[in-house]
Structure 1
Amino acid sequence: MFTTILKEVGGFFDRRALTTVFFPSLVFWTGAALTVGLVEHKVDRAVRSWSHQPGLVQVGIVVGWTAFVVFWSLLWQAAGDAQDRFFQGYWPQDGPLSFLTRRGSRRHSRVRQRLIERDRELERKEIAAAAERAAFPDPQALSAPTVVRPPEDIDNELDALEACLGSRTSPDPLPGWGTRCRDLAEQLAPYSGSTQDPSWKSRLSRFAAAADQLGHALDEAELALREKRSTLHQQLFLSYPQPPVQPLPTRLGNVIRAAEQHPRIRYGLDPVVIWSRLQPVLPADYTDGVRRAKAGLDLLCTLAAYITLFGVPLAAWAAVRVDDPDRPALLWVALVSASLCAVGVSVTAHRTKLWLLALALLGVSSVPLVVTLVNPSTHLLDIPTVGLRLGLAALFCTEILTLSLIAYRGAVQAGIAFAEKVRTAFDLHRSRVLDQMRLRIPDDLAQERRTWTALCAFLYRGAPPDAGTLTYADPLPATATFTANIQVPADQPSQAG
């Protein structure tokens, strides 16, 4: 019975809406009904009542419940744009809640600025490492020393070089040692291969080993700095729009805004204007990939919203309505779930104030439960079960909000995957828009930027392009005609005419 109804619902919704809206709505509404029934001890009564109902009544109940979930799903699907704007941080700029918008934007601006400053610092170190590598002695380009140093100074310099290499614990460059090693090479060059003095042979051997180790250290430092900068550039590229664009107050919004900024910076086109023209001409397999990425993002955003929307009221209500809140089984379940949430926060979260606040709330809310388990006769606040119920409510609500934040963090990762699909669509397939509009493909990047700028201005505002900016591709041959391809069987004469 339910399979037949689900098949009809599946025909009503497309696959994306079925996955991202209908099934989450069905699960959460059914879970909410079961939770209320369990707390009110009405599940057994409902099961007995269900078993005594005629088949027609059972079908009507299932159809009615499914119709309710479908109607809710339609409402939620219609509010999909509002959900996207909320999670992307398009919040009020004026009014009592505008401080949240300003505070979130400032926080992300500071994070982006710290990343940019860190990149500049790494750039300076990379330049210094390259200079050290350039100053490293080349045996074919050594010249005679201008000042001959005494053997004691050479020994001291070798000792310092070996000590520096021995105490090195990080792949950072060794400032100044490229030049100092070159000076040592010039001092030792006259004795290379011609001296029989054991002391000079020892110095040459020590220098060869130290120079080889220093060369590897400089190579390692350059590679480590390049990898750090590459990781930093990737973080900036994926997570934040480039200045002077102001960041949005949410991570997901900045990820999407960075993707929207990509084609504008690279090619001079407006993605909002061109995307509706590009999407119909994308290859079918690529369009499916974009839809799957967007469906994953929508599903996680819906879960983050539903967990809070359904979970917080149910958790607070259940903590107030549950009988005997001091039952050890209930307390242990609550504490174990709190521990799992704390582990999940510690593993998946950044060290931000919000996640630290979640950990603190989990710890504080667990105190009444632990006290009750240790000494069941204790009544917090001298009011039987009031402190325990408050602790359960706070603990359950904190767990729900923590799960919602974890789902939102997953949505950010899904948003990165979707944003990369959008970037790649513009990088690989933007010329399809020009082909479909019969415009000539530009010869170089500068001409392409002028073409896209003029085309976007023309499409968006109707601004006439400059002469020669938008030119049509070669027209079809004048002899080409379009005729209907009507096939007539050879054994059947045509009835035309």
Structure 2
Amino acid sequence: MAAVLLGLVLNALQTPLYRFLEGYALWPTTAFERGCRRQLSRQRKTTDRLADPALTSAVRRSLLREKLSRYPVSNNQITPTRLGNAIRRFEEYGYDRYRLDTQLLWNELTSVVPEPTNKQVVAARTNVDFFVALLYGHAAVAITAFASLSASRADRPVLICTGIGLAALTPVWYHAAVAATDEWAAAVRALVNLGRKPLAEGLGLALPKSLDDERRMWQLVTRMSNRPYAPAADAAFQPYRIELPQPSGEPSPPTS
């Protein structure tokens, strides 16, 4: 019963636990800004190393590209932690490519994509959740072990070894969580690429042939979902609406 209750509590706290590791929650302004500067510096150093003609090893170049790919496209989206940037890169993917805000339209998008695509996203996130849970779990046990040293009957050697060992494993799980976001990013990319057409049709819209027109359409959808209704939206959506077939037996509307 206690295990089930603890699982429910941790599941409810999943978002704030992630937000702290991503650098969004409980970070003072100075620490946030310092972290962002550090991440930008690391990104620039990786870019410079990749551009160095003296680096001829194909393996090392691939590893640097992999490391660089874990940053958002826009520097304005940089967060103060590596995990935050690794997640932010695929959160902005839909908007950067198509002006499709996946954060705002996530429920609609996951409702229309093929089931295998949805399962890939869930499975990929589960891998990251596993390492994040290990990180917090081991950190909590390590803190408890160190706090128990003050007890009168504490087995100090065991507590010290436990605390140090689990504290040493915490950054390992963090690095593993960052690396596991690669599969999550690939799954979200597939979700966006494959889900655009059924999402448009589900909204009663036809996907334009031109990418520029498609970006304008998704920008309208995003605004419509995020802002109060404005009468001008009706005319703006007209070029993208699907022409519905007329029911049999009813006359077609007169054309001008």
TM-score (norm 1): 0.45
3-state DSSP class of the match of 2:207? coil
Deviations along 1:387-417, one digit per CA (max 9) or x if unpaired, are xxxxx73x54332211121112221122221
1:435 equivalent in structure 2:
201
User: How much is the aligned-residue C-alpha RMSD, in angstroms?
Assistant: 2.8
**Residue type of the partner of 1:266?**
R
1:474 aligns with 2:240: no
Between the aligned partners of 2:135 and 2:47, the Cα distance in structure 1 is 31
1:407 equivalent in structure 2:
173
**Residue type of the partner of 2:127?**
G
2:6 equivalent in structure 1:
72
**Residue type of the partner of 2:68?**
L
For residue 264 of structure 1, the aligned residue among 79, 85, 95 is 95
Deviations along 1:136-191, one digit per CA (max 9) or x if unpaired, are xxxxxxxxxxxxxxxxxxxxxxxxxxxxxxxxxx786xxxxxxxxxxxxxxxxxxx
1:448 equivalent in structure 2:
214
Equivalent residues in 2 for 1:216-365 (5 A)? 232-237=64-69, 239-317=70-148, 321-322=153-154
- 8 A contact 1:440–1:471 mirrored in 2: yes
465-474 vs 69-78, greater mean Cα deviation:
465-474
- 8 A contact 2:208–2:240 mirrored in 1: no
**Residue type of the partner of 2:120?**
G
- 8 A contact 1:454–1:470 mirrored in 2: no
Post-superposition shift, 1:441?
A: 1.4
1:101 aligns with 2:32: yes
- 8 A contact 1:301–1:411 mirrored in 2: yes
Post-superposition shift, 1:232?
A: 4.0
Between the aligned partners of 1:294 and 1:415, the Cα distance in structure 2 is 8
Deviations along 1:192-226, one digit per CA (max 9) or x if unpaired, are xxxxxxxxxxxxxxxxxxxxxxxxxxxxxxxx68x
Post-superposition shift, 1:444?
A: 1.7
**Residue type of the partner of 2:43?**
R
Measured at CA, do residues 479 and 230 of structure 1 come closer, stay the same or move farther in structure 2, by a change above 3 Å? Answer: farther
- 8 A contact 1:316–1:396 mirrored in 2: no
Post-superposition shift, 1:306?
A: 1.0
Q: Percent identity?
A: 26
Deviations along 1:278-309, one digit per CA (max 9) or x if unpaired, are 01112122222211112222122111101111
Post-superposition shift, 1:439?
A: 0.5
1:117 aligns with 2:48: yes
3-state DSSP class of the match of 1:271? coil
- 8 A contact 1:316–1:397 mirrored in 2: no
Post-superposition shift, 1:98?
A: 3.5
- 8 A contact 2:141–2:163 mirrored in 1: no
Between the aligned partners of 2:205 and 2:42, the Cα distance in structure 1 is 42
Between the aligned partners of 1:273 and 1:282, the Cα distance in structure 2 is 16
Extract unaligned runs of 5+ from structure 1. Answer: 1-65, 126-169, 173-223, 335-391, 482-497
Between the aligned partners of 1:480 and 1:459, the Cα distance in structure 2 is 36
**Residue type of the partner of 1:436?**
G
**Residue type of the partner of 2:67?**
Q
Between the aligned partners of 1:228 and 1:398, the Cα distance in structure 2 is 33
3-state DSSP class of the match of 2:103? helix
**Residue type of the partner of 2:118?**
T
Between the aligned partners of 1:246 and 1:433, the Cα distance in structure 2 is 26
Extract unaligned runs of 5+ from structure 2. Answer: 251-256
Deviations along 1:333-353, one digit per CA (max 9) or x if unpaired, are x7xxxxxxxxxxxxxxxxxxx
3-state DSSP class of the match of 1:407? helix
- 8 A contact 2:55–2:61 mirrored in 1: no
Post-superposition shift, 1:469?
A: 6.0
- 8 A contact 1:304–1:404 mirrored in 2: yes
Between the aligned partners of 2:196 and 2:249, the Cα distance in structure 1 is 28
Measured at CA, do residues 230 and 313 of structure 1 come closer, stay the same or move farther in structure 2, by a change above 3 Å? Answer: closer
Between the aligned partners of 2:20 and 2:184, the Cα distance in structure 1 is 18
3-state DSSP class of the match of 2:109? helix
Measured at CA, do residues 405 and 440 of structure 1 come closer, stay the same or move farther in structure 2, by a change above 3 Å? Answer: same
396-405 vs 313-322, greater mean Cα deviation:
313-322
Equivalent residues in 2 for 1:384-403 (5 A)? 393=160, 396-403=162-169
Post-superposition shift, 1:312?
A: 2.3
**Residue type of the partner of 2:240?**
T
Post-superposition shift, 1:229?
A: 6.0
Matched residue pairs, number? Answer: 246
**Residue type of the partner of 2:10?**
W
301-310 vs 281-290, greater mean Cα deviation:
281-290
3-state DSSP class of the match of 1:272? coil
TM-score (norm 2): 0.83
For residue 18 of structure 2, the aligned residue among 60, 80, 84 is 84
**Residue type of the partner of 1:284?**
E
